[in-house]
Amino acid sequence: MVTISIAGGSGYTGGELLRILLDHPKINIKQATSQRFAGQPVGMVHPNLRGQTLPLFSKIDELESCDLLFIALPNGKSMALMPRFFEVAPRIIDLGADFRLNSAEVWQQWYGNQHQTPELIKQFIYALPELRREEIKKAKHITGPGCEAIVSILSLWPLIKHGVIEKENIIIDAKMGSSQAGSKATPASHHPERAGTVRSYLPTGHRHTAEIEQELTVNGKRPRVLISATAIEMVRGVLVTIHTFLKNDLSEKDIWKIYREEYGDEPFVRIIKRRQGLYRYPEPKILEGTNFCDIGFKKDRHSNRLVVIGAIDNLVKGTAGNAVQCLNLMLGFEETLSLKFPGLHPV
């Protein structure tokens, strides 16, 4: 059995890691830390896990040696602690933003403060299995994408790789559920303020722009991505509606073939484009609890605009599920192990 621990186990991401790994036949969960809830029952914070997982949270300085350490701390917290984490485990999966960007200068530009351990950045692989499977298999230290970034990258990658869309102005309209803001309460998450919301909270300047452009750079040509983010009354899920512009007059059949070529064998990417039914395009609601990324598209009959639609559960394929998928690759397990939950309908 492989022993794992979770630094930052009391947040929504930590809870999802515990839930998913409970049924993993080759994993033994050793510790989950929480500074706020240290010494208190895990089931008090994650009531769906009562009586099923670790009894109590530990403090972060009580971490013992393990085979693999997940880090699910808020952005900006893991970088200073990483030398200590390196001593705890030979393999690390960091789900925060601290090591996603390739340079400390770009980090400071987008996150507003100086990176504390820039010498460690190059030791981390950006962990998106559909694009970097072979690298992840060999990696010791990986960094998970942001939830809005992962669905946008997967939605755009085939079109960028095949060079069929203009790279100058890719417009992403992202609609976010409330859980993407984390478990810590804020004035914006107070129920009277959050309920019934369709709130444009980041019309420009979304931090995930940097990693999307970074990962979609092909042959040194960096795309120009423009994101607008809207909070809606949904707990789990991200839906991106991406406006791209075709270079040539491709048919929808041509576009379908491009997606099938790239994702036809992928266990967690589905191309969703139906002529009938309620769920003709991707819909976050039916992805709750799953590790799927659903992608659809529609060509504008009156212009060269191609609208791409992507949906995920931000806590699973957007963070914890993708991390477990990477764990399976790193340790030589079946990639889909513990990730086959198909979702619920109706919910």
8 and 42 housed in the same domain: yes
Q: d(Cα 198, Cα 52) in Å, to the nearest integer?
A: 37
Domain contains 245: yes
**Residue 212 scores a pLDDT above 80:** yes
Q: How many helices (H) and strands (E) does the chain have?
A: 10, 13
Residue 180 is predicted with a pLDDT of 74
Residue 186 is predicted with a pLDDT of 81
Domain contains 318: no
DSSP-based three-state secondary structure for 230: strand
Tens digit of each residue's pLDDT (9 = 90 or more) over 150-163: 999 999 999 999 99
Residue 181 is predicted with a pLDDT of 73
172 and 101 housed in the same domain: no
Residue 183 is predicted with a pLDDT of 75
CATH (domain of 6): 3.40.50.720
CATH (domain of 216): 3.30.360.10
202 and 68 housed in the same domain: no
73 and 200 housed in the same domain: no
Domain contains 320: no
Instruction: Determine which one of 66, 147, 293, 326 is catalytic.
Output: 147
- Cβ atoms 148, 177 nearer than 8 A: no
Choose between 178 and 184: higher pLDDT.
178
Q: d(Cα 126, Cα 82) in Å, to the nearest integer?
A: 16
76 and 167 housed in the same domain: no
Residue 114 is predicted with a pLDDT of 96
Question: What average pLDDT does the chain have?
Answer: 96
Confidence of residue 18 (pLDDT cuts 50, 70, 90): very high
295 and 188 housed in the same domain: yes
83 and 152 housed in the same domain: no
Confidence of residue 251 (pLDDT cuts 50, 70, 90): very high
Domain residues for 218? 148-312
Tens digit of each residue's pLDDT (9 = 90 or more) over 336-347: 999 999 999 998
303 and 180 housed in the same domain: yes
Residue 272 tokens read as 């969703």
- Cβ atoms 5, 312 nearer than 8 A: no
Q: Please name the residue ranges forming H helices in the chain.
A: 12-21, 42-45, 78-88, 104-111, 129-138, 147-161, 191-194, 208-215, 252-263, 321-330
155 and 115 housed in the same domain: no
154 and 287 housed in the same domain: yes
Confidence of residue 259 (pLDDT cuts 50, 70, 90): very high
206 and 283 housed in the same domain: yes
**Residue 320 scores a pLDDT above 80:** yes
Domain contains 328: no
Residue 191 is predicted with a pLDDT of 81
Domain count within the chain: 2
Whether 66 is catalytic: no
CA torsion sign, 94 to 6 to 335 to 286? Answer: negative
**Residue 209 scores a pLDDT above 90:** yes
Domain contains 329: no
Mean pLDDT calculated for residue range 202-225: 96
Confidence of residue 60 (pLDDT cuts 50, 70, 90): very high
Q: d(Cα 174, Cα 62) in Å, to the nearest integer?
A: 39
Confidence of residue 182 (pLDDT cuts 50, 70, 90): confident
Q: Which of 176, 305, 190, 288 is nearest to 238 (CA)?
A: 176
Tens digit of each residue's pLDDT (9 = 90 or more) over 80-125: 999 999 999 999 999 999 999 999 999 999 999 999 999 999 999 9
266 and 193 housed in the same domain: yes
Domain contains 323: no
Domain contains 183: yes
Cα angle, residue 291 at apex, residues 289 and 195 outer, rounded to 5°:
45
DSSP secondary structure letter of residue 130: H
Domain contains 138: no
For residue 29, give the H/E element and its range.
Answer: strand 27-32
Choose between 143 and 190: higher pLDDT.
143
